[in-house]
């Protein structure tokens, strides 16, 4: 598929008021530095992907000189020819200005983009989907910019080239590295290639294991040295055991002396302890007697207090009942007085209602329209009607008054009955109160007992006095406590124990020496094992590198056959002889006698090299897009290409943009 840019229009974009650029198979855009050639490349990439030609979304598309124009829309549109049709794309960037309530001026509150496909407005997501369906962004960057491929990291460049080279048969590679001495490694590699792991994954796994083992191996000498430095001095085991036996015998002699002295002390102390036990038991008996006496007196006092409290509670309950009934009696009397007043008022109201007579208003007998008196016959009928209405209303009021009076009289009778009941109840309670006061007075007179002194009662108890005398007699005859001094024996024994600890500590060094020697042997065995494992892994790494190099040699040859101008180097030999994967692009030198690294080539070589890479990638993926070549003045002759070429040429003589379109025969 070939995509051709027919026309590119910039409106208020990167300082351009309006530029309409028609384009052909080969378009040259001439201008001095700073005029704005690169903006066409930026405009095209921004239209498609919202980025500039350097793949950045952060670039200023507004006018940086006359900022007053930034309120206008910033627009890029293009007519693009694709197989079978011509489509129009347009992207507009707008400032959003909002005037807040109460403010005089509007404020910039954000930005928004609008998208059009063949003049049909579209949402951003739908627009991006259609662009990506037409042209993948990653592929576009590879085949529109002659410098983009070599700006990628080496691993990314290798992946692109390997995609072009295609798969290489593993059997061919294995046959190329197979020898009589590596059959086992070839067998293991064959199994690996048939497994689910990739070569890179397995290489990373082996390298990780090797680094880990190497790190472990580095610590072994230090650990052996540490064990050796902590090795105790050798000891004479027989000599130490003889000294330990001698000290133990001396300790046994001292222990016997201390035991004999302790036995004599215990016999003397036992008789004293028996007598002290008797005194203790007698004191316990005194405490029992004291407790019983105190408990008896306390119980009598509690019974006295409880019985009197019952009489006091009975009296106070009656007093509270009398008080509450007197309050209710006073309230009932006030209620009767209030009801009598309301009954008397009702009687007066009845007489007032009953004495009222009807009086006629002459206006009631006048026509409201013509103001004339109604006829005499009608006047009599009207008077009769008014009289009947008056008498009916009067009778209703008298009836309501009588009904209300009866209710008040009933309430008064109920209150008077309650008063009589309360009087009788209060009289009865007053009599009960008199009896309760007499009962309390009689109980106090009958149970008036002076308070006893508990200590005097206890000290006068015969049994208590008897036991006290026995205790005094035993305490007077108690012999003096025996004394025992084992200080000298204990000091001598402690000295011998300290000496014994020194000998035992020396003897324990024998086990430490044995353990340290065993530990050194273990570390040496571990060192040998790690070295062997590392050697095995290194052998595996060499085999993997041989396989990878053999594969890359084949792939490198395939890849270089795909390009007419550039070459690629996929391995670099280090000083130590190791070969590391790289991806260096090589371009022809100045006299075309050989190749030099990309960065060492001149600008023309790099541009033609990038163009050669784009030609191969476009052919491989079957997509040809416009190629923008910035700094094209450095190349006097471009290599052929099937893609549309847009050359951005620095021309000091051109102080404004000059466009030249050329039709050219495209290579097949």
Residue 176 and residue 550 in contact, taking contact as beta carbons nearer than 8 Å: yes
Q: Which residue has better confidence, 521 or 616? A: 616
Handedness of CA 517, 522, 525, 526 (dihedral sign): negative
Residue 577 has pLDDT above 70, yes or no: no
Most confident segment among 83-92, 299-308, 345-354: 83-92
Largest CA distance in the chain: 165
Cβ proximity of 29 and 89 under 8 Å: no
- Between 370 and 18, where is the model more confident? 18
Rounded Cα–Cα distance for residues 65 and 14 (Å): 10
Please calculate the CA angle 172-178-184 and round it to the nearest 5 degrees. 120
Helix H or strand E encompassing 400 = helix 376-446
Whether the per-residue pLDDT at 668 is higher than 60: the answer is: no
**Secondary structure (H, E, C), 220-258:** HHHHHHHHHHCCCCCCCHHHHHHHHHHHHHHHHHHHHHH
pLDDT tier at 578, thresholds 50, 70, 90: low
pLDDT tens-digit series, residues 253-269: 888 878 877 777 676 66
Per the prediction, the chain carries an average pLDDT of: 84
Please give the average per-residue pLDDT across 62-82, as a whole number: 81
Q: Are strands 645-650 and 26-31 parallel, antiparallel or unpaired?
A: parallel
**pTM reported for the whole predicted model:** 0.50
Cα–Cα distance between 517 and 506 in angstroms, integer? 17
For the domain spanning 1-135+623-668, the CATH number is 3.40.50
Determine the pLDDT at residue 371: 65
- Asked whether residue 623 carries a pLDDT value surpassing 70, the answer given is yes
Over residues 86-117, the pLDDT tens digits come to 999 999 998 888 888 777 787 887 888 999 99
Q: Where are the domains of the chain?
A: 1-135+623-668, 284-446
- Angstrom distance (rounded) from CA 179 to CA 274: 104
Rg (alpha carbons) of the chain, rounded to whole number: 62
Distance CA 655, CA 336 (A): 122
CATH number for the segment(s) 284-446: 1.10.287
Sorting pLDDT into bands at 50, 70 and 90, what band is 389? Answer: confident
Structure tokens at 600: 């060492």
- Between 9 and 489, residue with greater pLDDT: 9
Residue 452 banded pLDDT, cuts 50, 70, 90: low
* pLDDT tens digits, one per residue of 191-229: 777 777 777 777 788 889 889 988 888 888 888 888 777
- Asked if residue 74 lies in contact with residue 60, where contact means CB atoms within 8 angstroms, the answer is no
Residue 45 pLDDT more than 70? yes
Quote the pLDDT of residue 664.
63
Strand partners, 659: 29
Is-same-fold flag (1-135+623-668; 284-446)?
A: no
74 vs 96: CA distance, rounded Å: 12
Tokens 């409290």 correspond to: 309
On whether the CB atoms of residues 297 and 405 are closer than 8 A, the answer is: no
Contacts of 260 (CB under 8 A, 6+ apart): none
Q: Lowest-confidence range among 97-106, 138-147, 532-541?
A: 97-106
DSSP annotation of 373:
B
> Which residue did the predictor score with more confidence, 577 or 458?
458
């Amino acid at each position: 598929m070939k995509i051709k840019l027919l026309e590119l229009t910039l409106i208020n974009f990167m300082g351009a008021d309006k530029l309409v650029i028609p384009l052909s198979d080969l378009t040259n855009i001439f201008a001095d530095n700073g005029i704005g050639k690169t903006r066409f490349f930026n405009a095209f990439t921004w239209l498609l992907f919202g980025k500039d030609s350097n793949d950045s979304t952060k670039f200023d598309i507004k006018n940086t000189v006359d900022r007053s124009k930034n309120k206008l829309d910033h627009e890029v549109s293009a007519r693009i020819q694709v197989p079978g049709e011509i489509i129009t794309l347009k992207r507009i960037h707008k400032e959003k200005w909002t005037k807040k309530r109460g403010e005089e001026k509007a404020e910039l509150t954000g930005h928004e983009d609008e998208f059009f496909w063949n003049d049909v407005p579209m949402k951003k997501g739908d627009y991006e989907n259609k662009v990506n369906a037409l042209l993948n962004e990653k592929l576009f960057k590879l085949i529109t910019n002659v410098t983009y491929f070599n700006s990628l990291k080496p691993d990314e460049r290798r992946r692109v080239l390997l995609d072009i080279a295609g798969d290489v048969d593993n059997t061919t590679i294995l046959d190329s590295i197979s020898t009589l001495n590596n059959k086992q490694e070839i067998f293991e590699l064959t199994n690996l290639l048939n497994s689910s792991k990739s070569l890179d994954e397995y290489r990373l796994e082996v390298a990780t294991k090797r680094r880990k083992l190497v790190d472990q191996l580095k610590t072994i000498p230090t650990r052996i040295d540490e064990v050796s430095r902590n090795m105790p001095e050798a000891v004479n085991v027989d000599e130490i055991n003889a000294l330990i036996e001698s000290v133990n015998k001396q300790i046994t002699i001292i222990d016997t002396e201390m035991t004999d002295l302790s036995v004599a002390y215990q016999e003397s102390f036992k008789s004293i302890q028996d007598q002290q036990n008797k005194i203790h038991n007698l004191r316990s008996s005194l405490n029992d007697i004291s407790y019983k006496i105190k408990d008896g007196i306390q119980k009598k006092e509690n019974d006295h207090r409880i019985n009197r409290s019952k009489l006091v509670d009975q009296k106070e309950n009656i007093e509270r009942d009398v008080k509450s009934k007197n309050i209710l009696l006073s309230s009932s009397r006030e209620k009767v007085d209030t009801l009598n007043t309301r009954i008397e008022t009702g009687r007066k109201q009845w007489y007032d209602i009953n004495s009222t007579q009807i009086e006629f208003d002459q206006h009631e007998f006048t026509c409201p329209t013509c103001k004339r008196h109604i006829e005499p016959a009608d006047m009599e009928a009207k008077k009769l009607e008014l009289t009947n209405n008056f008498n009916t209303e009067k009778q209703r009021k008298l009836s309501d008054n009588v009904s209300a009076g009866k209710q008040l009289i009933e309430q008064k009778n109920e209150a008077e009955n309650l008063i009589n009941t309360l009087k009788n109840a209060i009289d009865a309670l007053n009599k009960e109160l008199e009896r309760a006061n007499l009962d309390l007075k009689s109980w106090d007179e009958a149970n008036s007992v002076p308070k006893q002194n508990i200590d005097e009662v206890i000290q006068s108890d015969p049994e208590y006095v008897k036991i006290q005398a026995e205790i005094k007699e035993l305490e007077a005859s108690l012999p003096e406590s025996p004394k025992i001094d084992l200080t000298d024996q204990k000091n001598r024994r402690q000295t011998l124990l300290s000496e014994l600890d020194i000998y035992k500590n020396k003897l324990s060094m024998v086990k430490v020496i044995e353990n340290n020697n065993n530990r050194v042997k273990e570390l040496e065995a571990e060192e040998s094992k790690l070295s062997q494992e590392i050697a095995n892994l290194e052998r595996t790494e060499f085999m993997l590198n041989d396989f990878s190099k053999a594969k890359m040699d084949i792939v490198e040859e395939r890849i270089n056959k795909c390009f007419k101008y550039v070459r690629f180097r996929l391995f670099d030999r280090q000083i130590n002889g190791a070969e590391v994967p790289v991806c260096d692009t090589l371009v022809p030198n100045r006299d075309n006698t050989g190749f030099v690294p990309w960065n060492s080539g001149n600008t023309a070589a790099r541009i033609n090299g990038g163009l050669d890479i784009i030609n191969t990638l476009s052919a491989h993926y079957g997509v040809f897009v416009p190629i923008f070549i910035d700094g094209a003045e450095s190349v006097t002759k471009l290599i052929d290409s099937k893609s549309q070429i847009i050359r951005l040429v620095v021309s000091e003589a051109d102080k404004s943009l000059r466009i030249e379109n050329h039709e050219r025969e495209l290579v097949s």
